[in-house]
Structures are given as C-alpha cells and as structure tokens.
Amino acid sequence: MTSGRESVLRASPGDRLIVRRHHLDEHDRDGEILAVLGEDGSPPFTVRWEDDGHVSTLFPGSDATVEHFQHTQPAAKKKKGKGG
C-alpha cells in the first residue's frame, strides 16, 4: 500500500547527490549535480561522479539524497564613473 504522497528530490547545480549502498561490499556513491533538468529543482539530474569522474543523467531512486549547499550569485561588477 502506498501513502499517495510522492517524495521528490529537489536540487540545484552544485549540490551533491549521494546514493546509499545496496550491499555490504559496496560503498556509497556521491557526485556533484551539474544540471537539474526537471521543473522546480526536480529530477532528472546530470551528475559528475566523484569516484571516477563519469558524467551521467539519471532519475535517482529512493536510496538517494541531496546534500544542499548555499549557492551565491557572482557579485555584480561596479562600473567606475567619472569623478569617483
């Protein structure tokens, strides 16, 4: 039976996607989210995997979490005018 609620991951480029291991002899896998292709931060995500540098686009499963980072906009360059 399902609850009727769907849990959707939300992310921004620069966040980390962490996929938990399935078996004892495996390790967790993580990577940097390069692009968010869904609406409002939802999957699919394009991810560069930390362990091998491979880039893939995927819809994460229930074994995945997103580690959010504060994203800052580049500071606007101030124009120097005459006299100051």
pLDDT tens digits, 37-58: 999 999 999 999 999 999 999 9
Residue 33 contacts residue 11 (beta carbons within 8 Å): yes
Residue 56 lies in a domain: yes
Q: Using CA atoms of 44, 45, 51, 54 in order, give the dihedral in degrees to the nearest 10.
A: 90
Q: What is the SS3 assignment for 20?
A: coil
Amino acid symbol at 9: L
Residue 46 lies in a domain: yes
pTM of the complete model: 0.71
Measured CA to CA, the distance from residue 23 to residue 34 in angstroms comes to 27
pLDDT band at residue 30, thresholds of 50, 70 and 90? very high
Strand partners, 29: 19
Range of the domain at 43: 16-67
Measured CA to CA, the distance from residue 33 to residue 47 in angstroms comes to 4
